[in-house]
Structure 1
Amino acid sequence: MKIPFSVCIGLLVSLSTLAQNMPATRKQPVTDVYFGKAVVDNYRWLEDMNSQEVKDWFKAQGDYTNAILDQIPGRDKLIQQFVDYDKLLAVRYGEIKKRGNTYFYRKTLPSEKAGKLYSREGKTGKETLLFDPLAYEKGKTYLMTAFTPSSDGKKMVIGLQEGGAELSTVRTMEVATKTFGPESITAVFGGEVSWLPDNSGFLYTPNNSMDTKDPQGNLNTKGRLHKLGSDPANNPDLFSIEKNPDFGIKPDQYPVMYYSDDNTQVYGYLGTVDRRATAWVAPASDVGQSTIGWKRLCAVTDSVSSFVKLGDRLFVQSVKNAPNGQIVVTDATNPNLATATVLLPEGKQNITRMASSKDFLFVILSDGINEKIRQYDPRTSQWADVPIPGSGTKGIEFYDAPRSNEVLVYATSWNDPGTLYDYNPETGKLVTSAFHTPMNYPGVADLVVEEVEIPSHDGTMVPLSIIYRKGLKRDGSAACLMDGYGAYGISGTPYFSRRNLALLNRGVVLAETHPRGGSEKGQAWYKAGYKTTKPNTWKDFIASGEYLIKNGYTSAGKLIGMGTSAGGILIGRAITERPDLFAAAISNVSCSNALRMENSPNGPINAAEFGTVNDSTECMALYEMDAFQHVKEGTKYPAVMCIGGMNDPRVIAWQPGKLAAALQNASTSGRPVLMQVNYDNGHFTEDKTVTFRNFANMLAFGLWQAGHPDFQPKMVVKK
């Protein structure tokens, strides 16, 4: 592979030598026939992650990539800028939970790479350090995935993970003494549990293995009960295929159990990527009995997104016959959605979330970009708006939902870090929270935000958010980072990012696309980028890039496309369909080989979103969205950086790895194709040092290829 003089003139001597030493990847064709269609896979052998040859390949690719990235000027300065901006936030609080008068929370200082668990009596009381995960075991780096205090605040369940794996080891702690109990329960995804009403134990659903590469790790899982002090090996199965053979539970669905906020009911919920819930309900007192008297709460056909219990009523968020969503009400003890009463009918705005405090229901509504929160008092049947200043994304959290109406709210947008407020729904009063930390970042006042709609390939108008510094010359000379996702109905809502600010203050244009597959325009928008309609997702992304170029925000030689996780489909198919549109592409922990996703540990559960090879129509849709299968020999592809995490439980590293291999052997542009391999990361990590390095690598690579002056080395003259 040759690196063009025009792209990396300053790295001419050193990188041309490295390019000649790019690790070779052999082809070993395997042909599969899917419903009469023959498909060749030259790199199937890379899927054997236990093979020493494959391990050596990833190691060689990672070393090669690091050698190139280490020579890009500006990369280390970008890392330092991330650190400097991080220091401007004196302290970061998160996941604030109240029990009695005690507040528990995660707190991170600028000097710390991850958060610690603290408590204080009252919002302004003396602070006590309860647990430091970085000091948990000498010689290892553990992070705290979750912490769940018991209802009396005397006990705590803490989830711990290593290397970004997300599969946590769960420990129990006595808060007063800060000592751990004897139990150590492994492979609990995210470390989440639901305490029993009497705090004698908790409900949880573990994976079958701590190995993120185990193909059986998350199949046929079981909802279990743990009683404090007992041997986890003997924890009974309460909710599973085996325990509930008539429920139609599939091997790739997670049987999760949790209690209603008031602890009077227990729910059995099938965890899946399908946004339509399948759930049962039973009296809380049935847990621990020989049988649980489950009643069906909702099926997939009910199109329920969420439900909450307030008093004797169950409030249900549903999109059945209402693509923008509606709220209906039914009896909590004997739910019947067929006879439920409509509380909030479908409107022009999309219902994105529903939640509750002790006495109030809260609903978040969105126009596609900007949100508002409304509250409902079941005692008076009155609606009211929550008066949060600002536009963009509106958030709401609850200090102690079952026992309090104390609410934490905030607003954030592309150019506003936001403010945390304590809100009293009884009085409608809003005051700055004691947990708010003032933020003052350079350049924020100079940021311009444009929210536009652009025509896509079929004439559909697609939202596009464009952020840049005042004084931008619309002559195509600016580098632009264009990001997108478009899956699972997840919308690209506005948020403030110090990482983005570091780019904006360098004159980079940022563009957040809102392709079909998200929910910016409701359920119909989601379904228009789903399975057989998935091409709309990357075509909307392409159309967004064309708009930015046509209107002078950037040019094809300056445009960097980025997609993460399921957004790997978006970026992968965008560059294989329109390689001429991009200077560089970042394919981060990406689904790049959709046709083979079901052969990865987390693949079967995602068939509900993307499709299955066992259905002829869905199989062809998977082929169409498979970037790896659309790499063509002799094509001038942009520069591409693929990233994989060796501890990633969501997208196995061979997915981006196979795409990198195919592009390296196919591209004739001379632009580099790199495979970044992270051994200290999973799908993501809280560890700031790892995160700063990881994103600085990606962004420096893209900006180098887009010609940004901060990332171009000086001329090297060889005499």
Structure 2
Amino acid sequence: MKHTVLLLLAGGLAAGPLRAQRALPATPQRPVTDTYFGRQVVDNYRWLEDVNNPEVKAWFQAQADYTKQILDRIPGRDSLISTFQAYDRLLTVRYGEVKKRGNRYFYRKTLPSETVGRLFVREGKTGPERLLFDPTAYDKSTTYAMTAFTPSPNGQLIAIGLQEGGVELSTLRILTVATRALGAESIPAVFGGGIDWLPDGSGFLYTPNNSTDPQDPKGNLDTKARLHRLGQPVAADPDLWSRAKNPDMGIRPDQYPVMFFADDHTQVYGLLASVDRRADAWLADPADLAKPTIAWKRLSAPTDSVYDFRKLGSRLYLHSVKGAPKGRILVTDAANPNPATATVLLPEGEGNITRLLSTKDYLFVVLSDGINETVRQYDPRIQQWVQMPMPSTGTAGLEPYDAAHSNELFTYVSTWNRPETVYDYAPETRKMVLSPFDMKARYPGTDDLVVEELEVPGHDGTLVPLSLIYRKDLKKDGKAVCFMTGYGAYGISATPYFSRRMLALLNQGVVLAATHPRGGSEKGQAWYRAGYQTTKPNTWRDFIACGEYLVKNRYTSPRHLIGEGTSAGGILIGRAITERPDLFAAAISNVSCSNALRMENSPNGPVNAPEFGTVKDSVQCMGLYEMDAFQHVKPGTRYPAVLCVGGMNDPRVIVWQPGKFAAALQAASTSGRPVLLQVNYDNGHFTEDKQVTFRNFANMYAFALWQAGHPSFQPRTIAAK
């Protein structure tokens, strides 16, 4: 009798879909019923929220082990990692965060052979460099990276934020530049490592979290702005500004009281930071830092809708969206600011203002047409606006070397299909020259890439921007795999950028679709508010509309369409696949907000309530229910293949958010396609460590490409008689 034996060439895998060596046990359902303003909601997996419970820890570990077995055996996954590494080596050096103090230039530098960046200094921009700090040598027993570094005003000291295991809560250490010696100070739980030095370098302002544990529910509530003086015990650092110290200022528990100086150090500012971009800001005399109580003066209230402010001389410049959805620039007296009576310096125009920044003598305003940015510069001494010459269209990158003492800018333009070239820009002459910190590299395939900027009809007829990048030999026959990504939250726009990781997909014939749904700011404040709280359904429905356009116009088909959303983009991808499971072959739900109704019960949830809403308000609560992907999983539905990703050290989206979503999908889906949960134990929301990052993204991409039918990621078979 003739028979056919299928032999897989990829590591002895079983024929057909890849399967783990041992089956994943079913997740117990233990229903908990909540009533929200008369609406009963059942949660079958509430027990997974207790991440310190041994049973829950074992569940996450079992999911991680099961997922790893499958991901490790996908053909093409390791090739992707190799491609990421090869493209990384083409960039012979990577510079970041160049900061000037006096004649010293401090910067992060990463070589292809290094997983994280090291801190260097040059005397003069082109002088010989000297290594100041290597985080990999700090403690050989564990992995550290720098979250931030801040030189003192005279450039003699540097505050370094050290991160362990991808946790964004950093430990601050102080390094003496001349000797490279670390001081005795060790200040834990500073988010990102951000500080602002006192003018004389004797200490700094900072706002630490209350706990080093990213899963502590009270870690970032009722935080306090503090002052540390070098050589003094950290425990004695005074509380300068907080809800406890200033009960009459209306500070909410979820607001971060952050203090910082004007560039010229003539004023100190207090910003009650939150996800609400409207500045709740105050100012004071720096001399008040030595007094028992600071005499705060109101700079702007949230109702003033000021997004940013910059001081130049005696004037304060405001980026305001009040009565101007695309933004305008106002100017007021710095000593006694009043947004209501401020003079309009730059009226609202066609371009959406995306950024306000300054150097010693100049003001810069970045404007966007929805995708591409232009820059205008203003000289207050002669009251003149001029256009800043940019080398090409795309996203304008501008960073002052030393805003307090210099006008020079570190400048670049980022595009979808070309790596950026870095220039130094002198506003006095409006001249750009190639920077000594340029990092230009040539990558294979970039000359063959086509970029299309489109607007496609949304679910309600609204035109939604859609950016497409693909090889010029694409055949629009519906057979190409398409990777469609989206975010649409916090007013953050999806601006053009060059991604070496995405290039690895583009060079394999994948179509990249970057969506611009409502909830971002591509079309100004109105676009943002149209995907905010109760209007949030527009965000995922815009995403769905983009997918429908791609299918209708034969760029891809539902068999080959991948959807991806990260963090707040988890709402977008989660609700897209629960509303239109038939549209997607695969979905990536990466460190995702997937259970919006329960976000306030996570450590970072209360601070995000201004963006998404609160269960304490009847209208907002129903909005949260609508955006809750977990609650919209329906048993007996043919869901696409889904890879959920969670970071065990994630301080922004706690791991049980994607975990519960994965559990619900595993129980409900009848498509036969896999639903996996990748748990990163060496990563948080993200990490600088290149090798961890390469593995993480290769896992996500390989899974999705396998399920979307890309030939390079399918188990290969041969027939033998």
Alignment match of 1:540 (pick from 530, 542, 546): 542
User: Match of 1:251?
Assistant: 253
Give yes or no for the alignment of 1:400 onto 2:384: no
Corresponding residue SS for 1:246: helix
- In the TM superposition, residue 20 of structure 1 has moved relative to its aligned partner by 6.5
Map 1:55-454 to 2 at 5 A: 55-454=57-456
Rounded to whole Å, the distance in 2 between the matches of 1:240 and 1:479 is 52
Rounded to whole Å, the distance in 1 between the matches of 2:397 and 2:26 is 48
Map 1:636-675 to 2 at 5 A: 636-675=638-677
What letter matches 1:498 in structure 2? R
Unpaired runs of 5+ in structure 2? 1-5
**8 A Cα contact 1:469 1:504, kept in partner:** yes
Rounded to whole Å, the distance in 2 between the matches of 1:17 and 1:591 is 28
Corresponding residue SS for 2:69: helix
Rounded to whole Å, the distance in 2 between the matches of 1:555 and 1:19 is 32
What letter matches 1:484 in structure 2? G
Rounded to whole Å, the distance in 2 between the matches of 1:276 and 1:257 is 16
Rounded to whole Å, the distance in 2 between the matches of 1:16 and 1:680 is 25
- In the TM superposition, residue 416 of structure 1 has moved relative to its aligned partner by 1.3
- In the TM superposition, residue 297 of structure 1 has moved relative to its aligned partner by 0.5
Rounded to whole Å, the distance in 1 between the matches of 2:340 and 2:149 is 38
What letter matches 2:101 in structure 1? R
What letter matches 2:670 in structure 1? T
What letter matches 1:394 in structure 2? A
Map 1:439-478 to 2 at 5 A: 439-478=441-480
Alignment match of 2:583 (pick from 570, 581, 584): 581
What letter matches 2:440 in structure 1? P
Question: Identity across aligned pairs (percent)?
Answer: 70
User: Match of 1:489?
Assistant: 491
Rounded to whole Å, the distance in 1 between the matches of 2:248 and 2:471 is 59
What letter matches 1:234 in structure 2? A
User: Match of 2:3?
Assistant: none
Root mean square deviation of aligned Cα = 1.5
Rounded to whole Å, the distance in 2 between the matches of 1:11 and 1:635 is 28
What letter matches 2:113 in structure 1? S
Q: Could you give the per-residue CA deviations for residues 291-350 of structure 1, whole angstroms, max 9, x where no partner exists?
A: 211100111100010001000000000100000001000100111112100000111110
Q: Could you give the per-residue CA deviations for residues 195-232 of structure 1, whole angstroms, max 9, x where no partner exists?
A: 00111000000000000000010011000000001100
Rounded to whole Å, the distance in 1 between the matches of 2:620 and 2:358 is 38
- In the TM superposition, residue 428 of structure 1 has moved relative to its aligned partner by 0.8
Corresponding residue SS for 1:181: coil
Rounded to whole Å, the distance in 2 between the matches of 1:718 and 1:221 is 68
Rounded to whole Å, the distance in 1 between the matches of 2:24 and 2:709 is 23
Unpaired runs of 5+ in structure 1? none
603-612 vs 120-129, which deviates more? 120-129
Rounded to whole Å, the distance in 2 between the matches of 1:160 and 1:15 is 43
594-603 vs 291-300, which deviates more? 291-300
What letter matches 2:157 in structure 1? K
Rounded to whole Å, the distance in 1 between the matches of 2:299 and 2:554 is 53
Alignment match of 2:568 (pick from 561, 566, 569): 566
- In the TM superposition, residue 406 of structure 1 has moved relative to its aligned partner by 1.1
Rounded to whole Å, the distance in 2 between the matches of 1:50 and 1:197 is 44
Corresponding residue SS for 1:587: strand
- In the TM superposition, residue 24 of structure 1 has moved relative to its aligned partner by 1.8
- In the TM superposition, residue 375 of structure 1 has moved relative to its aligned partner by 0.2
Q: TM-score, normalised by structure 1?
A: 0.98
Corresponding residue SS for 2:182: strand
**8 A Cα contact 2:9 2:717, kept in partner:** no
- In the TM superposition, residue 92 of structure 1 has moved relative to its aligned partner by 0.4
In 2 relative to 1, CA 562–535 (structure 1 residues): closer, same or farther, beyond 3 Å?
A: same
Aligned residues: 714
Rounded to whole Å, the distance in 1 between the matches of 2:377 and 2:17 is 59
Rounded to whole Å, the distance in 1 between the matches of 2:351 and 2:15 is 57
**8 A Cα contact 1:638 1:671, kept in partner:** yes
Rounded to whole Å, the distance in 1 between the matches of 2:469 and 2:21 is 35
**8 A Cα contact 1:8 1:712, kept in partner:** no
Corresponding residue SS for 2:447: helix
Rounded to whole Å, the distance in 1 between the matches of 2:21 and 2:35 is 36
- In the TM superposition, residue 717 of structure 1 has moved relative to its aligned partner by 6.3
- In the TM superposition, residue 288 of structure 1 has moved relative to its aligned partner by 1.9
Rounded to whole Å, the distance in 2 between the matches of 1:211 and 1:525 is 36
**8 A Cα contact 1:394 1:412, kept in partner:** yes
Corresponding residue SS for 2:531: coil
Corresponding residue SS for 1:180: coil
- In the TM superposition, residue 48 of structure 1 has moved relative to its aligned partner by 0.2
- In the TM superposition, residue 571 of structure 1 has moved relative to its aligned partner by 0.1
- In the TM superposition, residue 18 of structure 1 has moved relative to its aligned partner by 2.6
Q: TM-score, normalised by structure 2?
A: 0.98
User: Match of 1:552?
Assistant: 554
Corresponding residue SS for 2:411: strand
- In the TM superposition, residue 17 of structure 1 has moved relative to its aligned partner by 5.2
Rounded to whole Å, the distance in 1 between the matches of 2:476 and 2:359 is 48
- In the TM superposition, residue 89 of structure 1 has moved relative to its aligned partner by 0.5
What letter matches 2:158 in structure 1? M
**8 A Cα contact 1:12 1:716, kept in partner:** no
Rounded to whole Å, the distance in 1 between the matches of 2:601 and 2:74 is 37
Rounded to whole Å, the distance in 2 between the matches of 1:576 and 1:530 is 19
**8 A Cα contact 2:396 2:412, kept in partner:** yes
Rounded to whole Å, the distance in 2 between the matches of 1:368 and 1:665 is 41
Corresponding residue SS for 1:418: coil
What letter matches 1:342 in structure 2? V
Rounded to whole Å, the distance in 1 between the matches of 2:73 and 2:693 is 19
- In the TM superposition, residue 287 of structure 1 has moved relative to its aligned partner by 1.1
Rounded to whole Å, the distance in 1 between the matches of 2:387 and 2:120 is 33
In 2 relative to 1, CA 16–168 (structure 1 residues): closer, same or farther, beyond 3 Å?
A: closer
**8 A Cα contact 1:595 1:619, kept in partner:** yes
**8 A Cα contact 2:19 2:70, kept in partner:** no
Corresponding residue SS for 2:248: coil
User: Match of 1:34?
Assistant: 36
Rounded to whole Å, the distance in 2 between the matches of 1:339 and 1:698 is 52
Alignment match of 1:613 (pick from 598, 612, 615): 615
**8 A Cα contact 1:107 1:118, kept in partner:** yes
Corresponding residue SS for 2:678: strand
Rounded to whole Å, the distance in 2 between the matches of 1:350 and 1:196 is 35
Rounded to whole Å, the distance in 1 between the matches of 2:198 and 2:129 is 28
Alignment match of 2:507 (pick from 486, 505, 508): 505
Q: Could you give the per-residue CA deviations for residues 6-46 of structure 1, whole angstroms, max 9, x where no partner exists?
A: x9999544856538602321000000000000000000000
Map 1:683-694 to 2 at 5 A: 683-694=685-696
Corresponding residue SS for 1:206: coil
Corresponding residue SS for 1:118: strand
**8 A Cα contact 2:9 2:716, kept in partner:** no
Rounded to whole Å, the distance in 2 between the matches of 1:17 and 1:217 is 40
What letter matches 2:495 in structure 1? T
